[in-house]
Chains A and B, each alone.
Chain A
Amino acid sequence: MADARSRILERLRRNSNTPPHHANPVSDREPEWQAKQRPLGDLGEVFVSELEKVGSKVIRVLDWKSLPEAVGPWFKEFRIGSAMTGQEPRLEPLRKHLGKSLGIDLHTYTESLEAQKEEIFSTDCGITTSRGGIADTGSVILVPTPQEPRLLSLALPVHLVVVEKENLFPHLGAFLDTGEFQRDTPSNLVLVSGASRTADIELTLTVGVHGPKVFLVALVG
C-alpha cells in the first residue's frame, strides 16, 4: 500500500500549516497546571487511599524482610492455593515462606507463554514486583521483563504486587520527567489501578471481568 501512503501524506501536506509549532510538549509549557495537579502530603498515604477507593487491598510494610509475614494472611483470606512468580530474586524469601509455612503450590514462569499457557491460566495468584507507582491516581507502574513477564499480572485471578515507596511519583508527568521511558522504552508498560472491572451492564460496577479479580498491593518502605 505504498501508494496509499504517499497519497494520504500528499493530501495532508497540501493542507498542514506549521504554526503553532513548538519543540516542547504543550504540557511542559504549563508549569502552573503541573503544580496544580500535584497531590499534597505524603505520597504513600495518597497512593494507598486512591487504591483503596477502587477496592484494592493494600498493606504497608517497613522493608522487604517483613514482606513474607505481612502478606501471608492474604493467602488464607482469599483462599489462594497456588501462586506463580517470575525469576525475581527479591521475591525468593516470600516464595520460601509461602511454600514452607503456608503450603502454597508454587510455580515459576521460566519458559515461554506457549510452553506454560495451561499452567499460567490455571494458577490462582501471580506475584510480581513493579517499577513504582503514581500517587494521585493510585496506579502501579508495571514494566514486564523477561524475569517477570506480562501474563503474571494479567491471566491469574489474583495479582499481588510489591511497590517500593521510594519509587512513588506524585503524578504521571513526574514519572515521564525522569526520561527513563524515553531513553530505554520497554516493549510494554502498563499502569494498573485496581482489579479488572466493567460497568457495561446498566453501568453497574462489577469487578473481575477479564483480568485479575483481586488486586493486592504491598507498599514497602
Chain B
Amino acid sequence: MIPNPTQFKRDVAREVHNTTQRKNLKHVTGLIRERRNAAFAAIEDGEGLREIGKAIKQESLSRLPELLEQLESNLTRKGIQVHWAETTDQANQIVLEICRRRGITQVIKGKSMVSEEMELNPFLAGHGIEAIEADLGEFIVQLAEKPPSHIIAPAIHLNKEQIAELFEEKLGEPYTVNIEEMTAMARRVLRGKFQSAGMGVTGVNFAIADTGTIALVENEGNGRMVTSVPPVHVALMGLEKVIAHIADLPPLIRLLCRSATGQSISTYFNWISYPRRPEEKDGPEEVHLVILDNGRSTIYADAELRETLDCIRCGACLNICPVYSRIGGYSYSSIYMGPIGKILTPQMAGLETAGHLTGASTLCGACVEVCPVKIPIPNLLLRLRQEANQPTAAGKEIVKGAGSKRSSGEAMVWAGWKVLHSRPAAYLALTRLAGLAGGLLPQRVGPLKQWSKFRKPPRPAKRTLHQLLKERPHS
C-alpha cells in the first residue's frame, strides 16, 4: 500500500459518508475506550505506570545497538537463528529461503503488523506458497482480500452481518449472524491448517535481551498454535522491539493489555527462548527471528522523532482519535493507520508520498492522553509538517522527502506576513484596508477557495480591534 494525497482526499470524502462503517467504528471504538479507561481506573497509579513504560522504552532505545547484539548473541547461543533485514524485500527473501530449504508450501500466521508492512502474504503467494491468517480478525480481512483496518482489531470496521455474508461466500458456510457459530466455523477451518502448515509466522511484542526471549501477547491461542505445532517458527520484529531486562516486562505487559483491550493481562502471554530441545516432545525444531529496519534506523537518528519508536502497538490512539473513527483505517492507505500511522508512515515512506497524512489531524491531543508510553504525537506531527515545508539541502534531509511540500507561493505569503507583523504602520494600514474592503474579496478563487469549500468564508470586521480599543472610554 502506497499512500497518495489525491487518493487520500477521495477516500476520505467517500468514507465520511459511509454511514455503516461510521456506525460500526463508533460503537466499537467507544466500547474499547470505556474498557481501557476502566482498566486504568482499577489500578492505583496509572500515570506512574505510564511514566515507567516511557522510561523503559527510552532507556532501551538509548542502548539499542548494544541490546540488539546482546539479544542476537543470547538467542544464537540457544539455537534460535537471527536474521537482519534492511528492507522489507530482504525480510521477504529470508522467509522465502527458509520455506524453500524446507520445501514448505503452506504457512500459518499469528497476528503480525511487520508481516503486513512486508506484504508477506502476496509475496509468498507469488512464489506458490499459501499464507493463512489464524487470528480471527485477520482471517476475516484475508477472506475480504483486505489488510487490517485497525492494529489490534483488524476487522473492526465490519459488522456481523457483513462477516456472515463473507463466510457464506468464501467458506461456503450457511449464513448465520450468531457470533459463536461464526467463531466455531473459523476454529474448524483453521484447526486443520495448524496441523498441515510447514511454518508458523508471528510478530513479536517484546524481545528481551538479557534472557534471549521472544514475548508474544494474544487471546485466541492461535499464537501458541502457530509457535508450537508447525516444525518451523519465524518471528518478525521491527528493531525497536528489544528491551534490556526481563524484569521490565511486567509494567509493559500491564500497559499493553490495559491500553489495547482493557484486560489486566491477555489470555496467553507466551515466552519463547529455545527451539524444541532434544528431549522435548513438541515445539518447533527451528526458530528464526528476523530483525527488520525498513527506515527505523533513520527515525532513530533524530532525538525528537525517535519517540516514534517507543510505540508498543496497542492501538489506543486509534480508538480515541476523532479522525480515525470517522474515516476508518483504509483511508490512510497505510499499514499503520490513525495517529501512530500519521507519524510513522511519513517517516518510513517519505514525506513526498505520505507527508499529507501529517495534516489529517485536528491536533486535539487526545492520543497523547491515552498513549501508554506518552508519545507526543501532535508535537511530532508539527515537526514533520515543518520538515516537509522547510528548505533542505539535498543529502541533508533528516526525514526522507524533507522540503518536498515546500511551495514558493506559500513561502512568499509567510514572508509577507512576517514583514507586516514586524512593522506596526504597515500592519495597521492593511488591517484597516481589510476592514473597509474585505467584504469585496473574491471568495471562490485563490487561497480562499479551499478554505471556504466546507466553511463559511471569513468576513473581516469593518473596524479593527485596535480601533475599537482606542475608542473605548477610559475608566
Contacts and interface: CB of A to CB of B under 8 A. Distances in A.
Given A113-B282, A198-B220, A187 B274 contact: yes
A199 B261 contact: yes
A39 B56 CA distance: 23
A11 to B, nearest CB: 4
Contacts of A177: 247
B84 A8 contact: yes
A74 B43 CA distance: 34
A33 B32 CA distance: 26
Contacts of B52: 26-27, 30, 33
A185 B212 contact: yes
Interface stretch (B124-132, B152-160, B337-345, B414-422): B152-160
Contacts of A154: 221, 224-225, 228
B250 interface: yes
A12 B268 CA distance: 33
B264 A182 contact: no
Nearest to B280: A146
A210 B44 contact: no
Contacts of B273: 185-189
Interface string A158-191: 0000000000000111001100011001111111
A190 B250 CA distance: 14
Interface in B244-295: 244-251, 253-254, 261, 264-277, 279-283, 291, 293
B187 A209 contact: yes
Interface string A28-57: 101011001100000000000010001000
B330 to A, nearest CB: 17
Contacts, number: 268
A8 B221 contact: no
A195 interface: yes
B77 to A, nearest CB: 11
Contacts of B163: 201
A138 to B, nearest CB: 8
A21 B55 CA distance: 11
B245 A25 contact: yes
Contacts of A176: 246-247, 249-250
Interface string B52-63: 100110110011
Contacts of A204: 160, 179
Interface string B184-202: 1011001100110000000
Contact of A113 (B59, B229, B239, B301): B229
Contacts of B135: 200
B249 A209 contact: no
A17 interface: yes
Contacts of A146: 279-281
Interface in B11-51: 24, 27-28, 31-32, 43-45, 48-49
Contacts of A113: 229, 281-283
A30 to B, nearest CB: 6
B150 to A, nearest CB: 10
A109 B267 CA distance: 24
Contact of A16 (B64, B247, B277): B64
B201 to A, nearest CB: 15
Contacts of B219: 196-199
A210 B246 contact: no
B443 to A, nearest CB: 45
Centre residue among B85, B90, B220, B281 by max chain A CB count within 10 A: B281
Contact of A25 (B195, B227, B247): B247
B8 interface: no
B153 A200 contact: yes
A8 B86 contact: yes
Interface stretch (B65-73, B349-357, B403-411, B431-439): B65-73
B269 A190 contact: yes
A150 B468 CA distance: 79
A188 B45 CA distance: 31
Given A146-B279, A209-B221, A201 B160 contact: yes
Interface in B83-107: 83-86, 90, 94
Interface string A99-134: 000000000010111000100010000000000001
A26 B160 CA distance: 43
Contacts of A194: 267
A109 B281 contact: yes
B123 interface: no
B265 A191 contact: yes
Nearest to A37: B43
B182 interface: yes
B48 A33 contact: yes
B369 to A, nearest CB: 20
B136 interface: yes
Interface string A197-214: 111111110101111100
Interface of B: 24, 27-28, 31-32, 43-45, 48-49, 52, 55-56, 58-59, 62-66, 68-69, 78, 83-86, 90, 94, 134-137, 140, 153-156, 159-160, 163, 179-180, 182-184, 186-187, 190-191, 194-195, 210-213, 219-222, 224-225, 227-229, 239, 244-251, 253-254, 261, 264-277, 279-283, 291, 293, 297-298, 300-301, 303
13 contacts: A5-B84, A8-B84, A11-B293, A17-B62, A26-B251, A33-B52, A149-B282, A155-B229, A188-B274, A190-B269, A198-B136, A199-B153, A203-B153
Given A176-B249, A198-B137, 7 more contacts: A1-B83, A26-B251, A117-B195, A188-B283, A198-B220, A201-B155, A211-B267
Interface of A: 1, 4-5, 7-9, 11-22, 24-28, 30, 32-33, 36-37, 50, 54, 109, 111-113, 117, 121, 134, 136-137, 139, 144-146, 149-151, 154-155, 171-173, 176-177, 181-182, 185-204, 206, 208-212
